[in-house]
Amino acid sequence: MVLFPRKNMQAPVKPRKNTRFFRMSIRYKLALPVLVLVSLMLFLLFRTTFRTVRAVVLERSESRLRAIAEVFAETIKVPLVLKYQSVLEANIDWMSKRPDVLEVRVEDMEGSLVGGGSNETHAMLPKLERDFLGVKSFGRDVYAVGVPIEVRGLRRGRVLIFFSQQYLEVELQEIFQRRLLQAFLMAVFLALLMAGLTWIALRPIFTLKRTAEKILAGDLSARARIRSFDEIEDLGEAFNEMVARLARSLDNLRLRTEALEESEEKYRLVIENAGDIIFTLTPEGEMPLLNKEISGCTREELLLEGLGLLLSLETPESRQKFEEELEKVSRTKQAVTNIPSTHIHRASKTEISYLVNLTPMLDYDGNVKVIQGVMRDVTELRRIELMKESLIRDVAHELKTPTAKFEMAVGWFEKELEKQGEIAKYGQVMHILKANVERLMRTITSIMDLSRLESGMTRLAEAELDLNEVLEQVRQDMEPICRDKKIILEARFSPERLAMMGDRDMLYRLFLNLIGNAAKFTPGGTIRVASKKEMGRILVSVRDSGIGVDKDDLEKIFDRFVQKTASSQGIGVGLTISRDIAVLHRGRIWAESEGLGKGAIFKVEFPAL
C-alpha cells in the first residue's frame, strides 16, 4: 500500500469513439418524416380520388352501355318482326364485332334464342334470369345489359349484350399511377428541399459539433466561427466564451495541480523519512496512514489489521492506558500529548518505550474523522532517564544517611552546650547549623519524591474522598506558618461536598506545596484558597498578593529546578511535584498572573464523581 502517489500526471482527454451501429443526420431525421407523411397523404388522396372517379366513370359507362343496347334493339325490330333472319344475324354479327362486346343474344318472349349467341363464349358467361332487364356487373370487367324489344306497346322479346370494360379500368389505373408517381417525385423533391434548407439552418450547429470534437481531442484553442445572424450565433459566442474560461480554468488548475503535487511530494518525503512513527486511526479502528513499521510489525500488516494489531503489541497496563486516551480524544475532541506506551517487540521480545501524541481531525460537522498519532521511540532516553533517576536516588540516599547523622551530631552538640552553659555563646552558630541541616534534608526528600513520581514508582492509593477535607487540613497546618510571616490565610471552600477519587496524602502534598510556595513569595500579604464545583469538574485556586510572575515565565515555573529568585529557599521542584501529582489524578494545573508585583493565582482542576 502506497502512502502517497508520487506523480499523478493527468493524461490527455481522448475523444470518445462512436460505438453506435447506426447514425442519422438531423436533417434527414426532419426530411424523412416529411417525405413519409406527404407520400402517405398523397397516396390516401389519390386512392380516394381514384375510387370516386372510377365510380363516376363506371356509372356513366353503364348509362352508355344501356343506350347502346337500346339503339341496337331498335335496329333489330324490323328484321325480328318480319322474320328476316339473315338481316337479324347480320346486325347481331355487326354488334358482336365491337371490341367491348363479348356476346349478343336475341330472345323471344319464351326465352328461346332467336339470334346470336356462341357456344364458345356462352359457357364462360354468367347465367341470367329469364326476366332480367337493365344493367348488371359481374366483377370488374363484365357487364350484362338487358333491353326489352317492344313494337307498338307489345313486348316481342329482349336483347342481351355482354360488354367487357377491362380497358377502362386499366386506363384509369395507368392515369392515376402516373399522377401518383409524379406526386411522389414532388414529395421527394419537397423532402430534399426541406433537408437542404434544414442543413443550411443547422450548419452552425455542425460547426459547434466539430469544434466540440476538437476540444475533446485536446485542442483548447479551437473556436466556433458562426455568422448566422440569429440565436445560434449568440449560442456560438457563448460557447466560445465558455471554452475560453474553461481553458483559463484548466491552466490555473494545472498550475495548482503541479504546485500541489510538488507540495505533496515534499510532504510524502517528510512523512516517509520522519524519525517518528506517524499514523492515523479511523473511528472504526482502521489505519489508513502509516509511514513505517512498529515494534517488528510491517506497515502492510498494520495497515491491513489496524488498531487491533497495534494494541496487541502493548503490555496490558500500557494497552489499558492507550485505550482510555483514545476514548478521551474521541469524546472530548481535544489532543492528548506525551502518553507513555510500552511495546513488546514481536521478534526479539524486548520492551520498547514510546511517547504518543494523539490529535483529533474533525470534519465539517465537528465529528472526529480520524485521529492522527505520532509515536516517538524513547527507549534509549528512557534507559538513560532510569539510569539518571537511579543515580539521583542512590546519591540522595547516600546523602540522606550522613545528613541524618550530622543532624544527630548537631543535636547532641547543642545538648552538650546547654549542659556546659555555653549555648548563649554559640546559639547563633547552632541556629545556622540546624537551619541548613533541615534545608539539606528537605532538599534530599524533595529530590527523592520527584524521582519516584517521574519514574512511575509511586502508586496512587486511590479512594473516594472529599477534597474540602484535605484543603481544610492543609489550611490548619499552614496557618501558624503564615501567621509567623504576617500573612493572612483565607479559605472560601465550596458548601457542597467535593467528591473525587484520589490519594489523600499526595493531594495534601500538592496543596501544601502550592500554599507554601505562595507564602514564600508573599511577605506580609494575603493568601486566599477557594474551591468550587462546576460542569462536572472540581476547581481549586490559590491566590496570593505577592511579587507575581512574568507572563513569559508562567509555563517555565513548573519545570524542574526553576526558582523565581536566587535567594529563594528550596531547589525549585515543589511546583514540578505538584504538577506530576495533578497529572496522576487525571487533572491539570496552571498559573495566571497579570505581571510582576500583581500577585499570582494557581489553579488545579480534577474530574468530580
Q: Who has greater pLDDT, 377 or 455?
A: 377
In angstroms, what CA-CA distances link 398 with 444, 448, 453, 526, 577? 10, 11, 19, 40, 22
pLDDT of residue 202: 74
| Domain 25-220 in CATH 3.30.450.20 | yes
What does the pLDDT read at residue 538? 93
Helices (H) and strands (E) in the chain, counts: 14, 17
Dist CA 294 CA 309 (whole Å)? 10
Could you say which DSSP state residue 176 is in?
Answer: H
Spatial separation of the C-alpha atoms in residues 364 and 172, rounded to whole Å = 86
Cell (9 digits) for 347: 521478534
Please give the pLDDT value at position 53.
72
In this structure, whether the domain defined by 462-607 belongs to CATH 3.30.565.10 is answered with: yes
Cα separation values, 285 from 312, 355, 470, Å: 13, 20, 42
Strands (E), 21-141: 101-107, 113-116, 134-138
Mean of pLDDT values over 47-63? 72
pLDDT in tens, 501-516: 988 888 888 898 899 8
> Of how many residues is the chain composed?
609
The residue that leads in pLDDT, 167 or 488, is: 488
pLDDT at 120: 55
Angle between helix 166-216 and 231-272 (nearest 10): 40
Give 380-404 pLDDT, tens digit per residue: 877 776 676 666 666 666 666 777 7
Task: List, for residues 225-274, the tens digit of each pLDDT value.
Answer: 888 777 878 888 888 888 888 888 888 998 998 888 888 888 778 777 88
Spell out the residues 6+ positions from residue 179 whose beta carbon is closer than 8 angstroms to its own.
46
- The set of long-range contacts for 216-224, using a CB threshold of 8 Å and a minimum separation of 24, is 216/13, 216/15, 216/16, 217/13, 217/14, 217/15, 218/12, 218/13, 220/246, 220/247, 220/250, 221/247
pLDDT for 400:
66
pLDDT bin (cut points 50, 70, 90) of residue 96 is confident
- Predicted pLDDT of residue 199: 75
Does 24 score more than 70 pLDDT? no
Cα separation values, 98 from 89, 93, 159, 204, 559, Å: 15, 9, 16, 69, 142
Lowest mean pLDDT among 286-290, 308-312, 511-515, 594-598: 594-598
Q: Which residue has the cell 494557581?
A: 602
Q: pLDDT value at position 2?
A: 36
- pLDDT above 70: percentage of residues in the chain: 82
Residue 180 or 367, more confident: 367
Q: Which CATH superfamily is domain 278-373 in?
A: PAS domain (3.30.450.20)
> Which pLDDT score, from 0 to 100, does residue 469 have?
93
* Residues β-bridged to residue 282: none
Q: How confident is the model at residue 571 (pLDDT cuts 50, 70, 90)?
A: very low
- Structure-model confidence comparison of residues 521 and 469, the more confident one: 469
Q: What is the pLDDT of residue 560?
A: 55
**Edge-to-edge strand order for the sheet containing 134-138?**
113-116, 101-107, 154-164, 142-151, 134-138
pLDDT value of position 4: 35
> What confidence category does residue 572 fall into, taking pLDDT thresholds of 50, 70 and 90?
low
Residue that wins the pLDDT comparison between 423 and 26? 423
Q: Give the pLDDT score at 214.
A: 87
